[in-house]
Every structure is written in C-alpha cells, then in structure tokens.
A and B are shown apart, each in its own frame.
Chain A
Amino acid sequence: MTELYWDPYDKTIDVDPHPIWRRLRDEQPVYFNDRFGFYALSRYEDVDNANLDHTTYSSAHGTVLEMMSDQPYGGAHMIFMDPPAHTMMRVLVSRAFTPRRISGLEDHIRKICSELLDPRIGTGGFDYVQDFAALLPSMVISELLGVDPADREEVRLLIDKTFHIEEGKGMINDISFAAQIELNGYYTEAIEARRTAPRDDLMTALTEAEMGTDEGVRRLTTSEAADFTGLLVAAGTETVARLLGWAGALLAAYPDERAAVAADPSLLKNAVEETLRFEAPSPVQGRTLHSDVELHGTTIPEGSKVLLLTGSAGRDGRKYSDPDTYNVRRQFEGHASFGRGVHFCLGASLARLEGRVALEETLSRFPTWEVDHDRAVRLHTSTVRGYEKLPIVV
C-alpha cells in the first residue's frame, strides 16, 4: 500500500485523482497535508454539511488555497465574503439569474452554437474546447451584461487572457493581470455610460440595485459595479468551458451513453447533471474554520484551512450507487458541484442551460466523434480541472 498523499497543485495526481480521493474517503476522511498545511474533507456528507454551515466554514479568508490568508479579505468580492455582508451583495444580482430570466437566453445561446458549429460540418474535426466550449460562455455572458456587439470579440479575447496560466506562477501573472485591468476599464466606462443612458441589461441593473448597509440604503459605486461585473464574467466563463469539455470527452468515452442522448434529447438535462457529478469542473473549494470541528474522531482546530473536495463528493459510494459509472439515466437527487447554501452557484441555471443547449446542438450535427488523446491538453489550477484542448475527429 503506497502512502496516501494529495494536494491540489500536483499535475500528475490531477490527471486522475479519483483513486486517491476514494482512498481518502475510505481511509482518511479528515486528511491533513502537512506540506501545505491544510485539511481535506472528501465524503459527500461532510462536504455538504460544510457548505451548509457557513458560520463555521468561512469563505472570508479566500477559497483558493494559494490565495487563502489568515486575515479576512475585506473586499467586496462576493465569493470571499460571509453573511451578512455577503447577503447584501448577493441580493443585488440574484434576481437576474432566476431560471425564467435565464431561460430567455435560450434562443440566443442556440444561435451562438450554430455560428460556432456550422462551419465545422464536413471539416473532419476541430478542437471542441478551443473552437467551441471556451468561446460560447464568454459570448453568452457578454449578451447578459449588455456588452455592445461591436466590442464582443475584443472583450472575449480579453476574458480569455485573464485566464492565462504560467508555469510556476499559476493564475497570478502579468498577462492575466494586464487583461483584468483593461477589462475593468471597459466595464467602468460602460457602467458609467449606463448611469446617464440606462439599458435593459445586467450592467444597468448593477447601477440601479440598492443594498442595505449599516449606514443605510445605498447603491454600488461604479468601481464596485465594475468589480462585480468582472466577478460574474470570471465565475461564468471558465467553469462552463470546463463542463462542456468534460461532456465532450465523457460522451466519446461512453459511446452508448452518447447514442442514448442523441436518440432522446429529453435525457440531456440529466446528462448535464451526471457530467457535473462525475467530473466537477471546480473540484476543490477552500474554507477557513471559525471554530474547532470534531469530525470522524479528529479535532480540526479553529483557524485551519479546510479544502472541500467537491470532485470526490460526486464519486462517494455512500451517496451514489455505482459511483464510477457514467450513466446519463442515473436517478439522483443532486450533487455538490454547484455547492449548497449561501454560496450556491448563482449561475447554476445559466450553466445548466448552456450545457443542455450546447450538447443538443453538438449532437444534432455530430452524433459521433473520437477524441485525439495524443493532442488533448489538460488545464489545471488548484480550483478548476478539465481540458484546455480537446481535438476531436468527427
């Protein structure tokens, strides 16, 4: 039996972390990594309970391991906040992401899919992530925000650059930083313009939304609204690209499942959920303990960094029967991949809609494909996992 070791940085482990996660669930459900100084919870029930107990498991110190600190962030970044401040920020936009609001985007999403996929018909193959999965989400979020059509290509390229990763430096590098500053300038200008000429879009809604604070009701400053816009873009782009990439890879690996979905599009909704369970696009979420936690005979002390292994929770045999089988007809009541409780993924409706429509439009044009695994490239950060390049032969 080899020594049981896991950390979120190791690229070799990341290729297939599931055997290690299974051992963590079975042998060390409260795992401690002394090299990087964090605990990890890997069972579904423990991850879910931690999501629901935001008072004990705080997000205010950051949620990505290399950016977690002893001190709270103190900014207005909703993902890195606890209630009640978190609640004030979240109500500003939660109504913009209701299922009915989001369902109004379906025709637009379908149209973008056609524009991206039609030129690929008869070409023999394309990169499912670079040429499709990575493009669709930023185009959709630009529509939702109200980015001018003339600016969308430029904005999309900038969004792409914000996700630039450098060996050894990860997400913190000059290319990403410069793109974030340029994008922030663009949002600032666009939001300022909406103060005098409101439109029917999310950037306008951010200028008009009111939040209750200790000092009374107030609106967001332009700088806060621009930061908020950047957050929505960052949260809604990369994760959906990874989800679609996983779907492209899994449906090729399980041709019977793909044939079932192609023959019966009513299975698509469940296929998206099964994909989210099977390979969580964001498999690791960090929390900081605000009090001691007693779990499985171990005391995790206050102040500890605790990583919630969302990707492991989806494979927990205590929750799911036959967890390592990808089954688009699986009957299940839910998964941990959008989280639960106060930080439940605000964009879940949008991600689900993009997933369903993208797969339907893919399968209607290309009912079968093969993945060129020799040329496929993985993408890995300490919080996101999936494919950067997924060449397919159609």
Chain B
Amino acid sequence: MRIDVDWDACEGHGLCEDAAPKVFSVDDDGNLTYFFDGDEVPAEHENAARNAVGVCPVIALRLVP
C-alpha cells in the first residue's frame, strides 16, 4: 500500500499524525513529513495509515492500492 500526498492541499491540521504517528509528523509550522514518501507503507502501519487518510479534513491524502 502506498499513499499519495497532495502537498498543496495539506494545511498542517495534524489529524494524520494523531491517527498514525509512525507514518506522519507535523511540525510547529504545520509542515508535514511523510516517512514513507515514494515507498510502500510497512505492513504493521497499514491500518493506522488507512485511518490517517480517512481523517484528513482537507483530503490531502489518497490511498494507492
């Protein structure tokens, strides 16, 4: 499973980090770090990552099957 990040849409609301702290991090300025950019999400984090995609309020995350 991969995740596409729409970097222009992301506003740093940080809900993805709440849902999947091992996958996403948002700094004080709201800048997003996606730890697996361009890679497969490790199987042990897939459920958390899926939840993160679901909670993004500005739809900046998309699952790539």
Using a CB–CB cutoff of 8 Å, the interface residues on chain A facing chain B are: 52, 90-91, 94-95, 98-101, 333-334, 338-342, 344, 348-349
Contact = CB atoms under 8 A, between A and B. Distances in A.
Given A344-B13, A348-B13, A349-B13, A98 B28 contact: yes
25 contacts: A52-B59, A94-B11, A95-B29, A98-B11, A98-B13, A98-B14, A98-B28, A98-B29, A99-B14, A100-B26, A100-B28, A100-B30, A101-B28, A101-B29, A101-B30, A333-B51, A333-B54, A333-B55, A340-B58, A340-B59, A341-B57, A341-B58, A341-B59, A342-B58, A344-B58
A349 B13 CA distance: 8
Interface string B1-42: 000000000011110000000000011111000000000000
A344 B58 CA distance: 7
Contacts of A52: 59
A349 B29 CA distance: 14
Contact of A90 (B11, B14, B51, B59): B11
Contacts of A94: 11-12, 30
B55 A95 contact: no
A344 B27 CA distance: 20
- Which DSSP category, helix, strand, loop or mixed, fits chain A's interface? helix
Nearest to A338: B57
Contact of B57 (A90, A98, A100, A340): A340
Chain B interface residue bracket vs A = 10 to 19
B17 to A, nearest CB: 8
A100 B32 CA distance: 12
B41 to A, nearest CB: 19
Nearest to B17: A99
Contacts of B30: 94-95, 98, 100-101
Contacts of B11: 90-91, 94-95, 98
A95 B12 contact: yes
A348 to B, nearest CB: 7
Q: Which of A100, A334, A339 has the most CB of B within 10 A?
A: A100
Contact of A334 (B13, B27, B55): B55
Nearest to A93: B11
A348 B55 CA distance: 13
A99 B14 CA distance: 6
Contacts of B59: 52, 340-341
Contacts of A341: 57-59
A94 B30 CA distance: 9
B26 A99 contact: yes
A373 B48 CA distance: 44
Q: Which of B11, B30, B59 has the most CB of A within 10 A?
A: B11
A99 B57 contact: no
Contacts of A100: 14, 26-28, 30
Given A95-B11, A100-B28, 11 more contacts: A94-B30, A98-B11, A98-B12, A98-B14, A99-B13, A99-B26, A100-B14, A100-B26, A334-B55, A340-B58, A348-B57
Contacts of A98: 11-14, 26, 28-30
A248 B57 CA distance: 27
Contacts of B57: 338-341, 344, 348
Nearest to A341: B59
A109 B28 CA distance: 19
B22 to A, nearest CB: 18
Contacts of A90: 11
Nearest to A90: B11
